[in-house]
Structure 1
Amino acid sequence: MYCKELQVNMDNGTILSDKLDKWNSDLARRLTPNNVILSLYIAIGLLGNSTVILIYGFKIKGNKEDRYFIPFLAFADLSASIVLPYNKTFCSIFLLLIIAIHRYLKICRPQRKQMTLKWKRFAMCLVLIIAFALSAPMSYFYGSVSFKNEKENIVGLRCSRLKTTHVLTIIIVIFSFICLYLRIGYTIIKHFKYSKTQKTYNNTEKPRQNNKRKGVHSCSNGRLRNMDTELKSLSSNEEILAGSRTGDAKQSVFMTCAKRRKQNRRVVHKITLVFMLITVIFLICYIPKVIIKLLEARNARFWEEFSDSGRAGVLFLYRFFIINNIINPVIYAFMDKKFSRKVKLFCKICS
């Protein structure tokens, strides 16, 4: 009798094991497209972010103040797109927040104290510490949850988030992004409007100045001769000539400085727009994951309620945030001319 019961239990165990193996195989097969996409993410992230590190870190010379954080962001994105540990993901998020604060000071508070190299390095260390502090207790926030297959009447286990702390952290960071970049965007738009008004004003003033010059040229010949005599007498005075040359030199320096300031301001705004676009793409890519995490927290059977194909689609949205880690090199290529030129030159040398 005992042998028969043991045989029945062994048969049931074999049947259950076969069902579980079949279930795992079906799940793996349906997730193959997602795995292919992840492989593409890895390849693109490796190539693109490595190029960014090479160009911004070693090829672009001169003042790198506005581009200081780009190689570090590329390194964080490279790590996150390849191995995807949570501390690397948090590094990218908090580094973007530091960049937003840096751009806010540059654009909205240009006359006040800015981030020095010392503070930038301190901010980088702070990012690493916070990212590690949030990712270290990951085993506490995640665990195994039962997952039932209604069709086969078997129960498996899946990894799931047990706490909502990280979601709340990300929501706070997203809210900070929105506040900072709304203020930055408003300031840039206001500056562009002012520049446009100044350009219109200068264009209307030029004809008036030309008319005044014509009035001077239409003076009588006698007055012109008198002016010519006065100029000749002045030309004999070396001190006045030296002063005139000094004045011309000062005017030339003033014009050069004004032109340089205008160019620097244009570069600052261009780099700021690059970072704004990067942050907008981050929000677009990360918000689906945040929404799914919130729904998952409210409904313990969230993943079980989908069909296998539906679950694969939701998983694609859940992993869509990885796009944020691989798209940045494309943005630099289109919006940063210096980076684009260096990439083209590097490709010519390699070919």
Structure 2
Amino acid sequence: MTRRIGVLGGYGAVGSAAVRLLAARFDGIVRVGGRDGKRAEAAADALAAGEAAEVDLWDDAALAAFCRDCAVVVHAGGPSYQVVDRVARAAFAAGADYVDAGGDLPLYERLAGTERRAVVTAGMMPGLSGLLPRWLAARTGPVGRLETYAGVLDRLTPAGAVDYLLSLGGRDAESQAVWQDGRRVTRSAAPQVDVRLPFFPGVVSAFPYLGYEPERLAQQLAIPDVRWYSVFDGGAAMMSTLARLQGAMSGEGDLAAAAAELAEAAELDMFGREPYQRMVFTAHPADGSAPSTLVAGSRDTSVLTGTVCGLAALQVLSGAVVPGRAFAAEALDAETLVADLRETDALSVFELLTEAAELREASEEGVL
């Protein structure tokens, strides 16, 4: 029997990248689903082995039909805060495993007790941002201190803008927090405003926070100290818009209108500039030896997220992921994912720097 992987939202910015990856690496049928049947057909017709499905994820019968006969269902469309576990439950009912490009803690918590394979936050951040430090730690040995700087200058999709707003709303408890001496320490790190950081172009600002991903990373790898920074590049329009959208961040008011306003601000900040995504991880070995820095980046957030999502689906299909719910950063085989990811065009930079001279030279050149 021919195997199928279904990608819901398969013609969108993230889903189309997952579909392209699967079309190149999967020897079965890729089912492309979405509300617009014509767009789904166009996307499926471009594949050697594709099929289209017109499906509204809020239509129980249509969603069940989409999941039927799929070995894995990938969700790459719709705001996570609305969808939560709706698609996952339909996949499980059809006997399929599940991969979600987003979801975060709410979805992870909803999937407690499942016996199917379910991988959540299989995207760039969170996701790849938690997996790459594990890849790095496998090369350095036990880590005594980890510093991470992650920044994005890119456009926002409508669903991405909604999820971004809500993620910021949960940052109060995380803002300026660090992992120090094996525990969370709140309000202990100051922002770095209008500074030049290695491997980031121009002047940026870095805001420390400790979300669930770095905290779980610190606990699981027994790293005593973790400093995690979100980097903002310019962003005058976005920053001023965010200051007006405090209610939307907490789920109040018209989220769709707020998301549209934020997406427009992001577009203004992009004027005359090239998009980029950059993640810089510096691991200081526990034995006091020289630190190693991993610099990874892309020119398209959606392409990188969708590519990671597609690779996650292949690992689930292969049986490399154990049954049960899991975050992508913790469930996926880091060596395999990084090796496969580097064979795609989703990364514009991937450099491991281990010597002081290498770090200085690469920082001066921007590694690009």
Q: TM-score range by the shorter chain?
A: under 0.3
Larger radius of gyration, structure 1 or 2? 1
Normalised TM-score (structure 2): 0.23
Higher strand share: 2
Higher helix share: 1
